[in-house]
Amino acid sequence: MTFVLVAMVLGGFAGVTLTERLADASFLSAVIPEDGRGSLVIGGIGLGALTGILLPLILLGLFRGTSKTTRLRPPEAWLKLLGLLFFDVYLLVVTVVVAQLGWALPEGLTRLISVFAIGFSWIPLAVIPWEKFGLTSSIRKQFTRRSKTHGSHEPD
């Protein structure tokens, strides 16, 4: 638990550093307004912390299993890592889009709006029926198989 929390905090710092460097020394430097840099910090915290918390959990899932949960197989782990990468890119795009409000709004208001916009940007991804695309977790598949074999429709 301590390892995962430390990885989350360090990931948040790394995400802030990454997004600020994107605004300073990359092609995004001309696109990001000065009053929108706070949005990049907020998005960097979310991006880095999410990666910092999920990456160790996915890697630990490859090597550790319990009697209730099995270890992740490599294809499942790659799929989860690919999903994490997709979500990180999605969050970075949302961060850059929200930072554009800095052209029209003052810095404080831009930061306030970006907290809500970036913080709730995951909701459209949460309502997508991932089961229709075959992207369910193995735990959910095992649970539904076990329920059908035991004849119980209630969770354990």
Task: Evaluate if residue 125 carries a pLDDT over 50.
Answer: yes
Distance CA 63, CA 71 (A): 6
Residue type, 103: W
| 9-38 pLDDT per residue, tens | 898 889 888 888 888 887 777 888 888 888
Distance CA 56, CA 108 (A): 34
Question: What confidence score (pLDDT) does residue 154 get?
Answer: 54
Question: What confidence score (pLDDT) does residue 143 get?
Answer: 47
Residue among 71, 19, 22 at smallest CA distance from 45: 19
Torsion from C-alpha of 71, 74, 140, 147, nearest 10 degrees: -60
Do residues 55 and 3 lie in contact, with contact meaning Cβ atoms separated by under 8 Å? no
Distance CA 6, CA 55 (A): 12
Sign (positive or negative) of CA dihedral 132, 62, 123, 51: negative
* Integer CA distances (angstroms), 136 to 74, 86, 133, 146, in order: 15, 16, 8, 16
| 34-69 pLDDT per residue, tens | 888 888 888 888 888 888 888 888 888 888 777 777
